[in-house]
Structure 1
Amino acid sequence: MRSRTAWGTAAAVMGGLLVTGCGDGGGAGGAQGAAATASGGFPVTVTDCRGAGTTFSRPPGKIVTSNAAGLELLLRLGAGDKVIGTGFPPGPGTLPGALDARGREVKVLSRSVIPKEKLLASGADLYIDTFADMRMSGMGDAPTDEEFRAAGIKHIYLKSTACAARREHAVTDLSAVEADITALGEVTGARAKAAELVDGMKTRVRAVRKAIGDVPRDQRPTYFFFDYDAGTKQPTALCNRQVAHAVITLAGARNIFADCDTTYKQVGWEDVLSRDPDWIQLGVRNRGGRAATEKGFDEARRWLETNPATKGLKAVKEGHFLRIRSEWTTIAGVENADTVERIAHTLYPSKVG
């Protein structure tokens, strides 16, 4: 198996893990539970996956993010100047537009999971966690609630991803991601910007849904997310608790592993062959630049076209490939709505401009 990139490792941690720090994700809620009750918008209380609340009497001043997903959201909210460190840093070109250079200016506390000692000694007053509990993953020892409190660090999750595997139902919309954005906006005092981002996502998704609304669900094309960077010996199924399942569904496609009730699951190529998808997304993560990433897409396509186990697939024979980066599909963020548009435009070019 090809070694995973930082994004791939993060994705693997989120898939299928029994979360001790998050409990039951339930429903579609993200880091929701934020409620402004006083003049100026504070105090604000944000709930974790178990419903336990963390209260903020004022905006945090020093934030550490577990990976580039939380970092990007803070940059988009205009709170990037408060971020003093991150794990799983964004590579060159990972973040869109002007956010790219700003994101790479943030201090890197670790290229992967931030070591417990370094996190607790970081000086942060807030840690935004995209992951489930690391203590069961073999990727490092996470601080306990008591250790976070002793260090003066409030700990909140992006529940749309951290607690996804514990959801009771398939995720078919972006409400959890939108709720995370709203909550971070309330915590950082950026409510107006959060509302703008969420409204923009809803507008784009609504337009797609309206455009393809007359296509019967049982006639929508089937779709396979090929996680090339996760390895090819045994494919990784993207299941119905992962945010990408919502992206695929909203774009008017049918995830071939929609019957898989977790986030990710190792399957066999015979499982893909038996479901014979109409379209395949080439799941490649940013490789440090546009040219290198495009080369990764070329490699993924070539592997499918030359491997005896996959070259007979309908999508492969018809050249039905989508070159959309994994991060924009599987990691919660504003790009999820953009990816809905891109997939829908490819599948329904006469309906979605």
Structure 2
Amino acid sequence: MTIVFLSEDHMKKNTLLSIMLSSCMIISLAACASGNSTGPQNSGSEASSDIPQASAAETTVNAGTDTSSPEEYQPVTITNMDNELVFEKAPEKIVVLSYDTAEILAALGLEDKVIGLAEADSSIDDVLPKYRDSVSKMPVIGGLSNGVPSLEAVLAMGPDFVYGASYSFMEQNAGKAQDYLDSGINVYGSTGTYSDIPTLEDTYLDIENLGKIFGVEDKASELINDLKNRVDAINSTEKSDKPLTVFVYDSEEDAPYTAGGSSLENKIIELAGGENIYKDLDSDFKSVAWEDVISKNPDVILINKYGGENDVQQKINFLKSMPELAEVTAVKEDHFVSASMLAVFPSIQNVEVIEELSEKFNEWK
């Protein structure tokens, strides 16, 4: 769920996370070789007829609270992706490059400022129900072959702010960040998509920064506090001395692609009360051997979902069809659970999946 010319594993990672690249090898979970759907980048899916269409971290601030009116707005300076961004006024015309970033804008009440939304490899159905109506009002950028618009297409829309994952801002995707800055357009990349080891704090920082940029700091603080309180509620519950062990099955049949210790998904599993069997793997995502998975005998298999439930069921069917996995606890006990790409990469859906996993782990103890 096409990115830079890096090592094979790094290339897979960036493609998947990139939310909007070409199909098969997605940044973090990628792969298409085996016939499994692979990642947030093969989209180009047509928008449904009821969705409007569009034509083609460090923070230093002198801002008040919810100062959305031009007369009250104080200049804001934010450092993001090593660029110093200066805002003399709140942006009015936003192009957003994925549903996860669109969801955050909707949570802050900024949906009316969005002039274009790139669907990447997701759909409106992947958005949390409470934000779906707001996000569905955002004009979808149509005619995209790989889910992401070109630099020229974005510039033609006349935005004053472009927001997406850091991988979106590459020459082969929506163009480099500097191209926009040279055109007088500020760009913001999700902090967790360029952190070495992403955490929930990265998303909290993004929400805080967006609150300052758009003068909606009260809403941002309220959202951050809600997310933190929900995680605290999970952490306050009694934890088992022996947590359930979890294998993340992202993609690939010959050599499964899984989440390692430096992935956000590893942290999500930990916060939910589980233990990633590859927590000691010094990588965010990496291919491993089935023999090693079998030897670790996971209690639960967490399936990364690309697209829809068909992808999940196909993966479960494949796992159950492997005779060598028949005695693995997760397979014997039918302990399969899934999470969408929006939920396991930096987004406000991270807390939702932590809650869901925690409930399942408690049920299966």
One fold, TM greater than 0.5?
Answer: yes
Inter-CA distance 114–239: structure 2 relative to 1 (3 Å threshold): farther
Structure 2 partner of 1:82: 113
Task: Specify every segment of 5 or more residues in structure 1 that has no aligned partner in the other structure, as ranges.
Answer: 17-30, 288-292
Write out per-residue CA displacement over residues 65-124 of structure 1, whole angstroms, 9 at most, x where no aligned residue: 121111111011110111111223541411122532442342215352321211222211
For these two proteins, the number of residue pairs brought into alignment is 310
- Distance in 2 (CA, whole Å) between partners of 1:76 and 1:133 is 22
Q: After superposition, where does 1:18-167 map in structure 2 within 5 Å?
A: 31-33=57-59, 35-37=61-63, 40=72, 42-50=74-82, 52-89=83-120, 90-105=122-137, 106-108=139-141, 110=144, 111-132=146-167, 135=170, 139-140=172-173, 142-143=175-176, 145=178, 147-161=179-193, 163-164=194-195, 167=196
**Contact 1:204–1:338 at 8 Å: present in 2 too?**
no
Structure 1 partner of 2:244: 221
TM-score scaled by length of structure 1: 0.78
Structure 1 partner of 2:213: 187
TM-score scaled by length of structure 2: 0.76
Inter-CA distance 149–333: structure 2 relative to 1 (3 Å threshold): closer
Q: CA deviation at 1:9?
A: 6.5
Q: CA deviation at 1:143?
A: 2.9
**Contact 2:170–2:177 at 8 Å: present in 1 too?**
no
Write out per-residue CA displacement over residues 272-308 of structure 1, whole angstroms, 9 at most, x where no aligned residue: 2232211111222343xxxxx2x43332222111123
Q: Secondary structure at the match of 2:59?
A: coil
Q: Secondary structure at the match of 1:74?
A: helix
Letter in 1 for 2:346: A
- State the Cα RMSD in Å: 2.8
- Distance in 2 (CA, whole Å) between partners of 1:334 and 1:134 is 21
1:271 lines up with 2:271 in the alignment: no
- Distance in 1 (CA, whole Å) between partners of 2:233 and 2:112 is 34
Q: After superposition, where does 1:218-257 map in structure 2 within 5 Å?
A: 219-227=242-250, 230-257=251-278
Q: Aligned match of 2:312 in 284, 297, 320?
A: 297
- Distance in 2 (CA, whole Å) between partners of 1:156 and 1:212 is 39
Structure 2 partner of 1:200: 226
Higher relative contact order, chain-length normalized (CA < 8 Å, sep 6+) = 1
Letter in 2 for 1:131: S
Q: Secondary structure at the match of 1:124?
A: coil
**In percent, how many aligned pairs have the same letter?**
24
Write out per-residue CA displacement over residues 24-60 of structure 1, whole angstroms, 9 at most, x where no aligned residue: xxxxxxx55252346745212221243x421111111
Inter-CA distance 108–344: structure 2 relative to 1 (3 Å threshold): same
Letter in 1 for 2:117: T
Q: CA deviation at 1:336?
A: 1.0
